[in-house]
């Protein structure tokens, strides 16, 4: 196992590789969503925490991000459905174990519902996303963070 050259960047890239390698295994798909949710921490939570202030103020779209604004069933009244807010709410949802997985007719996890509340336990966010939409969002978010790191002239 080689050492990190640049920890934040390498952590993201290695986590994406873990998912891609697992997805390439044809006979072992039984726990791919569980693996993805574990990797979600590496692709969203850890980098978002450190790089949040550098995220651009851009809205989401299904075509580019995998998530349509209509997928967000509730967001706090004063907040936009943009990368900053969506990533923060998804991060909070995962970090505080406020998500529920739903199965399809084949008994596979197909959708995940995310909920976020403020410190007074008042709802601030709710979204139900297909696993494929969530993967697209998280991979695109990872690419964005890596681009930001490169622009910030992080030694890679």
Would 1 be classed as within a structural domain? no
Would 113 be classed as within a structural domain? yes
Would 2 be classed as within a structural domain? no
Residue 25, phi-psi category: left (phi > 0), alpha (psi -120 to 50), beta (remainder)? beta
Confidence of residue 42 (pLDDT cuts 50, 70, 90): confident
Confidence of residue 38 (pLDDT cuts 50, 70, 90): confident
> Global pTM?
0.84
Q: Are strands 72-75 and 123-130 parallel, antiparallel or unpaired?
A: antiparallel
Residue 95 has pLDDT above 70, yes or no: yes
Would 156 be classed as within a structural domain? no
Residue 126 has pLDDT above 80, yes or no: yes
The residue range of the domain holding 57 is 7-151
Domain count, the chain: 1
Would 107 be classed as within a structural domain? yes
Condensed to tens digits (0 to 9), the pLDDT of residues 97-120 reads 999 999 999 888 899 999 999 999
């Amino acid at each position: 196992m080689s050492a990190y050259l640049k920890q934040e960047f390498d952590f993201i890239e290695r986590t994406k590789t873990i998912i891609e390698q697992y997805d390439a295994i044809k006979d072992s798909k039984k726990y791919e969503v569980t693996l993805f949710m574990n990797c979600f921490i590496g692709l969203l939570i850890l980098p978002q925490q450190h790089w949040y202030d550098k995220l651009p103020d851009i809205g989401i779209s299904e075509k580019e991000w995998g998530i349509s604004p209509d997928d967000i069933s509730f967001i706090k009244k004063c907040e936009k459905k943009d990368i900053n807010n969506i990533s923060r709410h998804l991060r909070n949802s995962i970090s505080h174990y406020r998500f529920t997985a739903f199965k399809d007719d084949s008994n596979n996890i197909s959708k995940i519902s995310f909920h976020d509340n403020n410190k007074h336990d008042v709802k601030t966010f709710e979204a139900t996303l297909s696993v494929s939409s969530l993967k697209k969002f998280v991979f695109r978010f990872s690419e964005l963070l890596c681009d930001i790191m490169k622009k910030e002239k992080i030694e890679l």
